[in-house]
A and B are shown apart, each in its own frame.
Chain A
């Protein structure tokens, strides 16, 4: 089970106290502004977590507490506004199906996978596994929220992709579980949320954007656009990560997790683009800009995480 993270400012402090008091005490109006990106990110992460596994010390009824939903909405609006402000808009004249992969490839961001492949120390890789666990231990879950919001063909294709993410009916092959086994074998804690306190705001924002895209029907096209970009930047980097882990003598379980993603995501990137995103846009053409927006957000947020991690290790980005 998951424990509440440590507050990172006045808003997360207030929300943590409110969460602990539900349902005994009504939640008073919370108008405190987040003090920092960290304060905002950890608060939104907590409020989203209520919709996944919840927390040991929080009553499950907190999930639908109106004042907490109001705070969540305010923080999601801020996060979306920041992303839309940075977003350059859909690429001029690009055809989604024909040009998407080249557009992703042309995006030139710092690569954590390259660093792990050739230079990273064991300690740096352990750092990376700890912060990546915030997502990998609930891998695929945020996108599952989008399933009921899609038209027929895109829905069928997303379920087909998620079925593979969830292990094709075999719990031992479920991707989040493979990662948990890899964590354990590497001497790390496999419980969901175990390393939230040491995860920088950039990691939590990555997680929060993904949850927000999944949870808001209005943003369903961003959810699947994010998925397509995520899968399209996974296969080759996963091979690099596996090679780096082999170089450093990491256990087979964690290497196996990344090896699985080399082949799985070479399939998923094709399905996500052609059968999910293109199919959705055929049915609902007004959603195409949001497919590009979600894809761009995936690349942008990963750049910020990569820069943050590399800077922390004193490695030039």
Chain B
């Protein structure tokens, strides 16, 4: 029984487990604060680099 540290949710975010640092497009570092964090993959989140659920409002073909 293995549990991935990184998981790509079909049509949704990338789940990241543990203490990680994510660098955004502007080079700013964001440290995770949760046991699991969701990183935006659709590019439309208002809370980037984190997912805010916006992918669900996109047509299926525009989802990651």
Q: CA A265 – CA B34 in complex, angstroms?
A: 11
Provide the residues of chain B in CB contact with A239, threshold 8 Å. 46, 52-53
Per a CB cutoff under 8 Å, which of B10, B15, B47, B50 touches A271?
Answer: B15
Nearest CB of A to B8, in Å:
11
A83 CB–B CB distance under 8 Å:
no
A160 CB–B CB distance under 8 Å:
yes
Task: State whether A270 touches B57 (Cβ < 8 A).
Answer: no
A152 CB–B CB distance under 8 Å:
yes
Measured as residues with beta carbon below 8 angstroms from the partner, the interface class of chain B is 20 to 34
Provide the residues of chain A in CB contact with B53, threshold 8 Å. 235-236, 239, 262, 265-266, 269
Nearest CB of A to B7, in Å:
8
Interface residues of B in 24-64 (CB under 8 A from A): 33-38, 46-47, 50-54, 56-57
Interface residues of B in 1-18 (CB under 8 A from A): 1, 3, 7, 9-13, 15
Provide the residues of chain A in CB contact with B3, threshold 8 Å. 153, 156, 275
Provide the residues of chain A in CB contact with B9, threshold 8 Å. 270, 274
Provide the residues of chain B in CB contact with A164, threshold 8 Å. 34-36
Provide the residues of chain B in CB contact with A236, threshold 8 Å. 52-54, 56-57
Interface residues of A in 86-110 (CB under 8 A from B): 98, 101, 105
Task: State whether A271 touches B52 (Cβ < 8 A).
Answer: no
User: Nearest chain-A residue to B47 (Cβ)?
Assistant: A263
Task: State whether B56 touches A105 (Cβ < 8 A).
Answer: yes
B34, B50, B53: residue with the most chain A Cβ atoms closer than 10 Å:
B53
Q: CA A266 – CA B13 in complex, angstroms?
A: 8
Per a CB cutoff under 8 Å, which of A105, A152, A153, A160 touches B36?
Answer: A160
Interface residues of A in 252-295 (CB under 8 A from B): 262-267, 269-271, 274-275
Contact A235:B52 (CB < 8 A) given known A163-B35, A267-B36: yes
Q: CA A263 – CA B53 in complex, angstroms?
A: 8
A101, A265, A267, A270: residue with the most chain B Cβ atoms closer than 10 Å:
A267
User: Nearest chain-B residue to A105 (Cβ)?
Assistant: B56
Contact A152:B46 (CB < 8 A) given known A164-B34, A267-B51: no
Chain A: residues with Cβ within 8 Å of the partner, total of 25
Task: State whether A152 touches B35 (Cβ < 8 A).
Answer: no
Task: State whether A270 touches B46 (Cβ < 8 A).
Answer: no
Per a CB cutoff under 8 Å, which of A105, A168, A275 touches B33?
Answer: A168
Provide the residues of chain A in CB contact with B47, threshold 8 Å. 262-263
Q: CA A161 – CA B53 in complex, angstroms?
A: 17
Q: CA A28 – CA B3 in complex, angstroms?
A: 52
Task: State whether B51 touches A263 (Cβ < 8 A).
Answer: yes
Q: CA A235 – CA B51 in complex, angstroms?
A: 9
Provide the residues of chain B in CB contact with A160, threshold 8 Å. 35-36
Provide the residues of chain B in CB contact with A270, threshold 8 Å. 9, 12-13, 15, 38
Per a CB cutoff under 8 Å, which of A235, A267, A274 touches B34?
Answer: A267
User: Nearest chain-A residue to B46 (Cβ)?
Assistant: A239
Contact A267:B52 (CB < 8 A) given known A156-B3, A168-B35, A262-B47: no
Q: CA A239 – CA B56 in complex, angstroms?
A: 14
4 residue pairs, one from A and one from B, having the closest CB atoms: A235-B53, A266-B51, A267-B38, A266-B53
Q: List 23 A-B contacts (CB under 8 A).
A: A101-B11, A101-B12, A101-B56, A160-B35, A164-B36, A168-B35, A236-B52, A236-B54, A236-B57, A239-B52, A239-B53, A262-B53, A263-B50, A263-B51, A266-B13, A266-B51, A266-B52, A266-B53, A267-B13, A267-B34, A269-B53, A274-B9, A275-B3
